[in-house]
Amino acid sequence: MYRASPLSRLNSSNGMATPLAQGEYERFYATLTKDPSGRTPVHQTLATHWARVVELVYAAERTLDLAQDEVILSPEIRVPPKEKPTEGIGCVEAPRGTFTHHYVTDERGMLQKVNLIVGTTNNHAAISMSIKKAAQGLIKKGVEITEGLLNKVEMAFRAYDPCFGCATHSLPGQMPMTLRVCAPDGTVLTEKSRP
């Protein structure tokens, strides 16, 4: 089981490359581990949101640097391809996790095969374990399954994938969800759904 998320990236880094992001990185670790160096990893699932913010601060600082870079502003920056591509693979570290693209084209440059491994796929095992842990911690014998309880269980998922409702084109940005409480033999004891 592994995680490919903003929290994973912070835990495997030695710091951030821009000053404001570095300050937030140190505050993140000082608050959650009492170790601003980042040598002690943070494993709390909901800390993923804070890690995402640290990366966004870095992205904003770096975007400003790039927007002022004379080389990037040069008209010579784009080099049009001289041949038709036949296959391409790329990885992007995104707010939802690592996103791998693989494309195969025909002789006209038309896509023939596409394989995308998105952050949710990479984090599937961790998501499942976090949801199970949240549900087991919140749902006890005699507890009514309310909308608030569904929201708390959903928080475990949203830490990994805050935009899942939109990514699946579920409107209005809210994903349908069914929570089933089962007996050890698999018998459904109670169920609540949200459209």
| Helix, strand, coil fractions of the chain, as percent rounded to 5 | 40, 20, 40
pLDDT band at 43 (very low <50, low <70, confident <90, very high): very high
Task: Kindly state the tokens that stand for 50.
Answer: 């804070």
Across the chain, mean pLDDT equals 87
**83-125 confidence digits (pLDDT tens):** 878 999 999 988 888 889 999 999 888 999 999 988 888 888 9
pLDDT at 174: 62
What percent of the chain has pLDDT above 90? 44
Q: Helix 124-138 to helix 147-158 angle, to the nearest 10 degrees?
A: 150
pLDDT at 140: 83
Domain ranges of the chain: 6-72, 80-120, 140-194
For 114, the 3-state DSSP assignment is strand
Instruction: Please state whether the peptide bond connecting residue 172 to the residue before it is cis, i.e. omega within 30 degrees of 0.
Output: yes
Task: Kindly state the tokens that stand for 170.
Answer: 């579920």
Task: Kindly state the tokens that stand for 23.
Answer: 């300050």
Residues in the chain: 195
Tokens 């569904």 map to which residue? 150
**147-190 confidence digits (pLDDT tens):** 888 888 888 888 888 776 655 555 555 667 788 888 889 888 88
Instruction: List Cβ<8 Å contacts ≥24 apart for 173-177.
Output: 177/150, 177/153
Residue type, 107: E
Tokens 């890690």 map to which residue? 51
pLDDT at 10: 95
Strand order in the sheet with 97-105: 87-94, 97-105, 111-117
> Quick check: 56 pLDDT over 80?
yes
> Quick check: 6 pLDDT over 90?
yes
User: What are the start-end ranges of the H helices in 19-46?
Assistant: 19-32
Least confident window among 10-24, 66-80, 114-128: 66-80
Q: Whole-model pTM?
A: 0.80
